[in-house]
Amino acid sequence: MEGKIKIVHYLNQFFGQLGGEEAAGLSPQIKEGPIGPGKALKKLLDNEGEIVATVICGDNYFAEKPEQVAEEIIDLLSSYELDVAVAGPSFNAGRYSLACGAFCKAIQERLNIPAVAAMFEGAPGAEIYRGQIYIVRTSAFARDMDEALASLTRLALKLARQEKIGLPSEEGYLPRPFRRNLVREKTGAERAVDMLLAKIGGKPFQTELTIHKFSGVRPAGPIPDLSVAEIALITTGGLTPKGNPDRIESTCATKYGIYDISAIDDLTSDAFEAYHGGYSPVYVNKDPDRLLPLDVMRELEREGTIGHVVGYFFSTAGCASDPGTCHHFGREISRALLEAKVSGAIITCT
Amino acid sequence: MNGKMKLELGIFLVKELQVGPRTELKAGVLYVNLRELQLLLCQDKRFADVKLELAHPGERCRIIHVLDVVEPRFKSTGKERPWYCGQGLTHVLRGIDVVVTGAFPGFAEGVIDMTGPGAEHSPFSRLHNLVIVPQPASGVNPVDYWEALTEAGIRAASYLGQASEGLVPEEVESYHLPPLSAVASSGIGLPRVAYICYLYSMADLRDMSLFGQNTRSLLPTIVHPNQILDGAIIYGGPNRPHKNTTYANTNNAVIRELYKRHSHSLYFVGVIVANHSDSYEAKERTAGLSAQLAASVLGAESAIITKDGGGQSDTDLMLCCEHCEEAGVKTVIVTTEGLGRDGTGIAALTDFSNEADAIVSTGIREESVCLSAMDRVIGGTSLLGRAAGDANKEIELQLSHIVGALSFLGYNNLGAGEIA
């Protein structure tokens, strides 16, 4: 990269030295060069970069209409040539951290240059924006300004130079709420033995996966009167009409099917079959009622034990499915059943 | 010294695989009399026919309906019975493999691309492959047909391996782990590490075999690591493309790594093989017994645990981890993740434990790769579950459908993390 990296810096009215809370309604303005903490940032940049402009805006002004104000700021910056934008550090400030996040997001999207904010992990702006922009982790306290500026400068320069950005723990930014595959320096087996030796040696180690802990599910209340209840049938055993017309995958299924049973009392092998990678479908294919007990449900319906069997069933193949997809299916299916005033469902799993 | 469990793997580096009038290994080239091998395999009347094709690295070729991959080996010294495996000199023809293909309805697709983006993900794209494309005899039932396929793969791999008979290997890898009676007096001060290796056997066409027997009702069993390196575990389940192939099992990366560090930074005390059972009760029993074997028989202070299945196997990992930690055996888990296509899924694993604080991730299963179009397809014309005739086209597939891309044993550098 030729020449110094050109940086625009966002500050609120306080750090931008325009006043305290009484100045929180100020509209955005641009000043040439670094202001306030920007001066310390300039020292850290040394010859690598320069703050060509500082954007200062009142916290209240920004908070009232963040998207519009972000646009206003983008317009104000139209004459500037910029390589990267930085915002804050806003530490634990509520409105300020939201403004920093909105500013960076707009810069990224509209000016197509990288943008990085710096704030405390618990700040409101962190929660909302951490999936969309880089946010350098700071403490909650402005007294840690030097450290915060150092982290911010480091990452901003790397982004401007389009260098490869490492893991959150290495570069000091808040982890994004999604994961991607990546190529590590050592094989999984080598990493496993390294990790084990560190763990038994009492040395620090970093797990590569922090497990999600599932919270309990509160069960629905009992069905008040079964004899008038609508009951649905659901299966994760991969039952489909013969030929699997919707091509539901037998492992890592990405969809579920909804199939009509309103006119039949019994599932037969000429009409239905099972596609599922986790069990042998031979017995189910001989008589699909073994997987989805429609024949018995119809008996209960005739006897008056239950009110009515819902005229369609839901089916997917629950084999190596990821929890997120299953969650999504469950939400959609339960919503559909509630709208249809269904009181209960039987799910058969294999 | 007691215990003769000394295994030497004599490595032959094979650079090319070609058709020839005689099956022989000369100057790093394996020539194969395909007709002779074909006749040998067709002796099994469960086949109507068996075709053999070659696929080389760099070719615009896609192998589909992959069921298993087997490394060609030959028992040079030592007896060829299951109970003697793990001893003697076994020749290994490195650089080539046998790929077994076959279409079973309802099973998930498994492909190997020999060039293009797909080839970057599979180790088999860098090897010369001899591909078995079978036709079932009319009326043969799926279970018998699968048995025939497994045997064909092993038989072909042995046939190729035999070309090394009487020849001197270029490299020799030596594996010797003395019995536990010797542990007390050696490796003093080194941490004792065990390896708990789960296998998945649940039903016909979904079994792994240990010493020739499926592991459905296996109680946790101590084996010598050499036995696994010498072929004790054979892949037996046509489905689950993100499986451990027989090739991956005979080259078990965790065992090889533990051996590398044995007597230097750790003392490898042995392997416990366990099964992913189909009931919670059986899973808990397996986890508890594995922990007791590790702690009280092998005397391990720590263990690496690997899995062999999808979501239900995560419960085994967590139970095993908890029981081991309770028994004083510190654990590291190795696993793939099920985070969905864009990595935003709510959970990578289907179960959890507060004790599972040390996990190595070998990648997210559902990330997709766009495979380029190919000129030639071996094994069929349509991918399982998709429109007919499109096996040669450009296609987006999840990593779980690229054979060897994902490893439960950590043999490649794939991982996952929160990144930009």
Cβ separation of B360 and A187 shorter than 8 Å?
no
Cβ separation of B416 and A208 shorter than 8 Å?
yes
**Tokens read off for B210:** 């240990």
Q: Decide: A321 and B339 in contact? Cβ < 8 Å.
A: no
Rounded to a whole number of angstroms, the distance from the CA of A330 to the nearest CA of chain B is 13
3-state secondary structure of B62: strand
Cβ separation of B330 and A200 shorter than 8 Å?
yes
Cβ separation of A321 and B108 shorter than 8 Å?
no
Residues B47-71: b if buried by 16+ CB within 10 A, e if exposed: beebebbbbeeebebbbbbbbbbbb
What is the maximal distance between C-alpha atoms in chain A?
86
Cβ separation of B364 and A179 shorter than 8 Å?
yes
Taking each helix axis as running N to C, give the angle between helix A66-76 and helix A94-106, from 0 to 180 degrees, rounded to the nearest 10. Answer: 50
Rounded to a whole number of angstroms, the distance from the CA of B142 to the nearest CA of chain A is 10
Please state, in angstroms and rounded to a whole number, the distance separating the CA atoms of residues A237 and A85.
Answer: 52
**DSSP state for residue B29 in the 8-state scheme:** E
Q: What is the pLDDT of residues A137-195, one digit of tens each?
A: 999 999 999 999 999 999 999 999 988 888 888 899 998 777 899 999 999 999 999 99
Determine contact: B386 vs chain A, CB below 8 A: yes
- The per-residue pLDDT for A166 is 82
Q: Average pLDDT, stretch A241-258?
A: 90
Task: Name the residue of chain B whose CA is nearest to A274's CA.
Answer: B106
Q: Which of residues 124-153 of B touch A (CB under 8 A)?
A: 142
Cβ separation of B348 and A178 shorter than 8 Å?
no
- The per-residue pLDDT for B182 is 78
Taking residue A239's Cβ as centre, other Cβ atoms within 10 Å add up to 31
Which of B53, B21, B46, B16 shows the shortest CA–CA distance to B36?
Answer: B21
Q: Which of residues 389-408 of B touch A (CB under 8 A)?
A: 398-400, 407
The ipTM value here is 0.94
Taking each helix axis as running N to C, give the angle between helix B280-292 and helix B312-326, from 0 to 180 degrees, rounded to the nearest 10. Answer: 40
Rounded to a whole number of angstroms, the distance from the CA of A99 to the nearest CA of chain B is 22
Please state, in angstroms and rounded to a whole number, the distance separating the CA atoms of residues A240 and A129.
Answer: 42
Q: Which of residues 212-231 of A touch B (CB under 8 A)?
A: 212-214
Cβ separation of A193 and B347 shorter than 8 Å?
no
Confidence (pTM): 0.79
- The per-residue pLDDT for B188 is 79
Residues of B in contact with A319 (CB under 8 A): 239, 310-311
Cβ separation of A187 and B412 shorter than 8 Å?
yes
**Tokens read off for A16:** 């931008």
Cβ separation of B385 and A244 shorter than 8 Å?
yes
Q: What is the pLDDT along chain B (420 residues), one digit of tens a residue?
A: 456 789 999 999 999 999 999 999 999 999 999 999 999 999 999 999 999 999 999 999 999 999 999 999 999 998 888 889 999 999 999 999 999 999 887 678 899 999 999 999 999 999 999 999 999 999 999 889 999 999 999 999 999 999 999 999 999 999 999 888 777 677 778 999 999 999 998 888 888 999 999 999 999 999 999 999 999 999 887 666 677 899 999 999 999 999 999 999 999 999 999 999 989 999 999 999 999 999 999 999 999 999 998 889 999 999 999 999 999 999 999 999 988 777 766 678 999 999 999 999 999 998 999 999 999 999 999 998 776 778 999 999 999 999 999 999 999 999 999 865
- The per-residue pLDDT for B344 is 67
Taking residue A9's Cβ as centre, other Cβ atoms within 10 Å add up to 27
Cβ separation of A180 and B419 shorter than 8 Å?
yes
Nearest by CB to residue A183, choosing from B342, B357, B414, is B414
Tell which of A133, A191, A193, A321 to mutate to test the B interface (max B CBs under 10 Å): A193
Determine contact: A206 vs chain B, CB below 8 A: no
Q: Which of residues 196-215 of B touch A (CB under 8 A)?
A: 202-206
Residues of B in contact with A181 (CB under 8 A): 363-364, 367, 399, 414-416
**Tokens read off for B334:** 């190795």
Mapped to the 3 state alphabet, what secondary structure does B161-186 carry?
HHHHCCCCCCEEEEEECCCHHHHHHC
Please state, in angstroms and rounded to a whole number, the distance separating the CA atoms of residues A140 and B400.
Answer: 43
Determine contact: A249 vs chain B, CB below 8 A: yes
Residues of B in contact with A183 (CB under 8 A): 413-415
Nearest by CB to residue B348, choosing from A167, A192, A209, is A209
Q: Which of residues 304-363 of B touch A (CB under 8 A)?
A: 304, 309-312, 330-332, 334-335, 337-354, 356-363
Residues of A in contact with B120 (CB under 8 A): none
Q: Decide: A172 and A165 in contact? Cβ < 8 Å.
A: no
Which of B288, B274, B267 shows the shortest CA–CA distance to B193?
Answer: B267
Please state, in angstroms and rounded to a whole number, the distance separating the CA atoms of residues A89 and A147.
Answer: 10
Work out how many CB contacts closer than 8 A connect A with B: 248
Determine contact: A331 vs chain B, CB below 8 A: no
Cβ separation of A282 and B106 shorter than 8 Å?
no
Taking residue B19's Cβ as centre, other Cβ atoms within 10 Å add up to 12
What are the distances in angstroms from CA A188 to CA B334, B359, B413?
8, 10, 6
Q: Which residues contact B281 (CB under 8 A, 6 or more apart)?
A: none
Cβ separation of B417 and A165 shorter than 8 Å?
no
Residues of B in contact with A175 (CB under 8 A): 418
Q: What is the pLDDT of residues A79-106, one digit of tens each?
A: 999 999 999 999 999 999 999 999 999 9
Task: Name the residue of chain B whose CA is nearest to A165's CA.
Answer: B420
Looking at residue A248, its amino acid is: I
* End-to-end Cα distance, chain A: 58
- The per-residue pLDDT for B1 is 44
Rounded to a whole number of angstroms, the distance from the CA of A305 to the nearest CA of chain B is 31
Nearest by CB to residue A179, choosing from B204, B301, B343, is B343
State the pLDDT confidence band at A324, using cuts at 50, 70 and 90. Answer: confident
Q: Decide: B369 and B213 in contact? Cβ < 8 Å.
A: no
Looking at residue B249, its amino acid is: N
**Tokens read off for B292:** 């007791």
Handedness of CA B405, B411, B413, B417 (dihedral sign): positive
Look-up of token digits 């008979």: B165
Which of A131, A51, A48, A47 shows the shortest CA–CA distance to A87?
Answer: A51
Please state, in angstroms and rounded to a whole number, the distance separating the CA atoms of residues A345 and A340.
Answer: 12
What are the distances in angstroms from CA A250 to CA A253, A274, B141, B401?
6, 9, 21, 12
Determine contact: B382 vs chain A, CB below 8 A: no
Cβ separation of A250 and B108 shorter than 8 Å?
yes
Cβ separation of B409 and A189 shorter than 8 Å?
yes
Cβ separation of A324 and B340 shorter than 8 Å?
yes
Between A289-298, A335-344, B293-302, the lowest mean confidence (pLDDT) is in A335-344
Q: Which residues contact B112 (CB under 8 A, 6 or more apart)?
A: B55, B62, B63, B66, B99, B118, B122, B124, B125, B129, B402, B403, B404
Q: What is the pLDDT of residues A211-235, one digit of tens each?
A: 877 767 788 899 999 999 999 999 9
Nearest by CB to residue A320, choosing from B203, B258, B310, is B310
Which of A194, A175, A277, A192 shows the shortest CA–CA distance to B362?
Answer: A192
Q: Decide: A133 and A127 in contact? Cβ < 8 Å.
A: no
Cβ separation of A188 and B407 shorter than 8 Å?
yes
Cβ separation of A278 and B312 shorter than 8 Å?
yes
- The per-residue pLDDT for A131 is 75
- The per-residue pLDDT for B238 is 63
Question: Is the N-terminal amide bond of B57 cis, ω within 30° of 0?
Answer: no
More confident residue, A251 or B374: B374
Residue B142's Cβ-count burial label (10 Å; 0-12, 13-18, 19+) is middle
Residues of B in contact with A188 (CB under 8 A): 253, 334, 360-362, 407, 409-415
**Tokens read off for A17:** 């030295």
Where does chain A show beta strands of DSSP type E? 5-12, 29-32, 49-57, 84-87, 115-120, 134-138, 180-183, 230-235, 239-241, 257-260, 272-274, 308-315, 344-348
Taking each helix axis as running N to C, give the angle between helix A188-200 and helix B253-261, from 0 to 180 degrees, rounded to the nearest 10. Answer: 50
Residues of B in contact with A212 (CB under 8 A): 346-349, 352
What are the distances in angstroms from CA B248 to CA B121, B135, B235, B278?
15, 26, 9, 24
**Tokens read off for B91:** 């020749």
Task: Name the residue of chain B whose CA is nearest to A205's CA.
Answer: B358
**DSSP state for residue B252 in the 8-state scheme:** -
- The per-residue pLDDT for B311 is 86
Determine contact: A330 vs chain B, CB below 8 A: no
Taking residue B94's Cβ as centre, other Cβ atoms within 10 Å add up to 19
